[in-house]
Chains A and B, each alone.
Chain A
Amino acid sequence: MIDLFQDLVNWASGPTVLFTITTVGLLLAFRFTQVWSRTSAKIFFAVLTVFYVASMWDPNFFLIVAKPDNIPITGVIFLVFFFTWFAMHQGIQNDRRREGGTEVLEKEEAEKVWVWPDLVYTEMLAMVLLSIVLLVWSILAAAPLEQPANPADSPNPSKAPWYFLGLQEMLVYFDPWLAGVVFPTLIIVGLMAIPYIDTNPKGNGYFTFKERKAEIIIFLYGFLILWSLLVISGTFLRGPNWNFFGPYEYWDVHRVEPLLNVNVSDFFWVKLLGQPLPSGGLFAALLREWLGILMVGVYVFVLPVVMSWSKDRLPTGLKWLSCHHYYEKMGATRYYIGVSLFLIMMSLPIKMYLRWAFNLKYIVAFPEIFFNI
């Protein structure tokens, strides 16, 4: 019975299944907003806590979770869940109030109050409580210190600090120039650009979901799935050689996973045409990669234009792509910057699923100049 349960959890934690389940779950929660109720939050936290506590009896689970530097990740799991729920819950309550004809809660409490004592005391209390938490945490858990540094002996796995594990996870799907340099830069630029791209005047200064659905769904997808989930799974589920291990599995250094990844050029020339890859010189390289270049070019340069068309201009079957009303509302500059950033963000899940479905390694591959996509 327990074995069966553990096997099930190990299976469900695999990158493909976990990523799909959480994405679908999140989208369903946006569709059926009743789930952000108090009762479901209580049930959810109870289940999560029971799962966590019960799992501590499993030696492999305990080994990973109780590592001092991994304690914050347990904090991340509970806190991110709680505060996401808290924000969505208040937003949906406000939406209901609006539907019922009352103002949002924040508007009702518009009167001014004295900062001393109303705010200063709250801050004081927060400081005292936080100090206690930090002191207790520090007394109970010693800061980790491993063997003295030895540049000749690299541990397996070698992991970046936990908050960068989302980036390290991206390395599975993209080369370092994208995962380690271009994407982090675009995350920073993209975050800073949010206020200038988002022209929706509603939902400024109060919690709401209904009035800002698209913004919230996109942001939370990035924040919860592409960032937090990858940090959590990178810490708990990635073992030696960055192989995947379920929460109840032993981190076996000798486990070898076959890598049979192929490029788009292999698919086209070798599998489809049954020819060797063109070789020799620049022209041959471009010829070799033409399909991949075309695919990336269409995705980056053509798709945003096509998406700006109205539904009538799009052929049947592609009508769902239309973002014409955003184009109208935002204007060309905002629209193109916003859509490009969005598409680049979505290139991560797209590449993940291409890898899982077709063992795809590179769409465009110029290893000669380290330019692989």
Chain B
Amino acid sequence: MLNRILAPLSAAWKEATDSQVWTSIFRHGKPVSNRNRALVMMSNVFLHLHPVKSRKAGIKLRYTWCMGGITFFLFLVLTFTGLLLMFYYRPTVEYAYADIVDLQEHVPLGIMRELHRWGAHAMVITVWLHMLRVFMTGSYKPPREFNWGIGVVLLVLTLLLSFTGYLLPWDQLAIWAIAVGSNMARATPLLGTEGPLSASLTLGDISLINAGNDARFALLGARSVGQPTLLRFYVLHCVGLPLVAAFLMAVHFWRVRKDGGISGPM
């Protein structure tokens, strides 16, 4: 009985995988022989991030916790859901809040915002845990010093991505969190109005650093969180920071390979 159903299915599967379309996409046979296992890794642009063979200890879940991979996967999820959010969201003081309400109430299957927000929280956590794993296995030691440095920049970028995104719903939570966070910039030494030594930067009687040109102003694009801030954070959040992060991730993964693959005892 079962065979009656399965036989045609497997025949159809064979038909499909033998077709010109299939063989034009996958230029190797099924990865059941060692030769094909190597070919599948090398001929696929995504899989070829990986080596063909790897030390057993290095790919164990208990060693890497897959935490870097999970962080990367979350980044992809965020890129995808973020793109969908951009269809509906307009970064203006007038529309932003209403667009977010619409997203949750009127857009079919409206959990894009949830996926994006919880995914972002999760990514911050997984990137910390990834750093913890890399530290606890001593994987920053030679020859991986530089890749650890790239990683630290990626950690900062992850936090900045999350921070810039926090403003976009334009609700009370958003603007006051950003206000608290960006108030610190006022205290930048030399460059903030309330920073040490800034008052000493004068040209004759005119003090060079004021609320209209200090570090906080550069961050907000205004004297307080307002329309210029929203636009600035939107552009950084949707274009600037993801581009830099994606670029550095490419370097990060490349270096994992070039530094000898996942670390292991000498």
Contact = CB atoms under 8 A, between A and B. Distances in A.
Interface residues of B, number: 101
Contacts of B175: 149, 151
Contact of B73 (A86, A130, A167): A130
Contacts of A164: 159, 163, 181
Interface stretch (A3-11, A118-126, A267-275, A345-353): A118-126
Contact of B181 (A76, A131, A160, A200): A160
A50 interface: no
B21 interface: no
Contact of A110 (B119, B137, B189, B264): B264
Given A79-B129, A115-B41, A122 B61 contact: yes
Given A139-B111, A161-B166, A205-B139, A72 B171 contact: no
B118 A134 contact: yes
B210 interface: no
Given A138-B118, A161-B181, A205-B263, A109 B141 contact: no
B172 A126 contact: no
A130 B138 contact: no
A144 B139 contact: no
B41 A180 contact: no
A87 B41 contact: no
B195 to A, nearest CB: 5
Interface in B151-203: 152, 155-156, 159, 162-163, 166, 169-177, 179-181, 183-189, 192, 194-200
Contacts of A116: 31, 37, 40-41, 47
B63 A142 contact: no
B196 A177 contact: yes
A138 B173 contact: no
Interface stretch (B8-16, B48-56, B233-241, B246-254): B48-56
Q: Is the interface of B mostly helix, strand, loop or mixed?
A: helix
B138 A204 contact: yes
B66 interface: yes
Interface residues of A, number: 96
A175 B263 CA distance: 41
B135 interface: yes
B97 interface: yes
B155 to A, nearest CB: 8
Contacts of B256: none
Contact of B264 (A126, A168, A203, A206): A206
Question: A-B pairs with the 4 shortest C-beta distances?
Answer: A180-B184, A138-B114, A195-B145, A176-B187
Given A160-B177, A161-B177, 5 more contacts: A72-B118, A83-B132, A122-B66, A126-B66, A195-B148
